[in-house]
């Protein structure tokens, strides 16, 4: 990843922060964004990349003008964007305890705006700055494809994000794919699941060595990652 520029949204904690560290250690210049400016400062102070670099910029994926400025800044610094990880997401309520039947309209709207529209905004605003070989990755989970009780409009928003990824994959020459790392221990899951650092290499493989044509428009899950990296 030496010399490549990557943009990671939702980077102040959890999967996003782990992916920033993974990419920077591999030599990439990572532009990390989140709504939490203090979290970004903590991330920048904690990351000690081997050969890469980390730049932080506060941005809210719900605001297309924020994201436009983010992508312009990343392109200026790197001469183009090689990797985009649309990772920003929210979950209102305890994981697995938010029935769709009792979901508030406010939670429904913000799930869709952040997890769905935010994915659309991230990819769309990156388009003018992508390098010819750029890859775009969308973080998701199994609840987007297989309904489970208690995941309400969060699951709906993730299904929306995956549909957006498939739509862009059909429209673009660039590879656009979904990465499903399974249940990961983050605030969204209440701390249950794998350590984010354990799944960050999955994103690195998807961004570099995985066959782009195989990923395009599809879902890379843990089984596919393990098969591809034996």
DSSP state for residue 129 in the 8-state scheme: G
Residue pair 172/119 in contact (Cβ under 8 Å)? The answer is no
Q: Which of 91, 105, 151, 154 is catalytic?
A: 154
Q: What is the token pair recorded at 162?
A: 């995956």
Upper half-sphere CA count for residue 74 (Cβ side, 13 Å): 37
Backbone region of residue 33 per phi and psi (left: phi > 0; alpha: psi in -120 to 50; beta: other values): beta
Please list the alpha-helical segments (H only) found in 2-130: 14-25, 37-46, 64-78, 105-111, 118-126
Q: What is the token pair recorded at 184?
A: 């990961």
| Tokens 């354990």 belong to residue | 198
Nearest to 67, CA basis, from 113, 155, 7, 141: 7
β-pairing, 81-86 vs 29-34, is unpaired
105 a catalytic residue: no
Q: Which residues are catalytic?
A: 154
């Amino acid at each position: 990843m030496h010399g490549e520029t990557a943009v990671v949204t939702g980077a102040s904690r959890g999967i996003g922060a782990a992916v920033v560290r993974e990419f920077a250690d591999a030599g990439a210049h990572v532009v990390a964004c989140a709504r939490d400016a203090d979290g970004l400062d903590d991330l920048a102070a904690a990351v000690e990349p081997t050969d890469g670099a980390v730049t932080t910029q506060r941005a809210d994926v719900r605001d297309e003008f924020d994201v436009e400025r983010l992508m312009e800044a990343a392109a200026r610094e790197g001469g183009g964007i090689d990797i985009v990880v649309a990772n920003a997401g929210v979950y209102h309520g305890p994981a697995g305890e938010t029935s769709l039947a009792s979901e508030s309209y406010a939670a429904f709207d913000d799930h869709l705006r952040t997890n769905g529209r935010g994915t659309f905004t991230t990819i769309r605003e990156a388009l003018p700055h992508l390098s010819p070989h750029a890859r775009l990755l969308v973080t998701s989970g199994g609840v987007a494809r297989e309904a489970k009780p208690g995941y309400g409009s969060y699951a709906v928003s993730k299904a929306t994000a995956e549909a957006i990824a498939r739509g862009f994959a059909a429209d673009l020459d660039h590879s656009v794919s979904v990465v499903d790392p399974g249940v990961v221990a983050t605030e969204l899951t209440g701390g249950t699941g794998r350590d984010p650092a354990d799944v960050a290499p999955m994103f690195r493989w998807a961004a570099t060595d995985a066959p782009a044509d195989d990923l395009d428009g599809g879902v890379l899950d843990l089984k596919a990652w393990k098969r591809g990296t034996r």
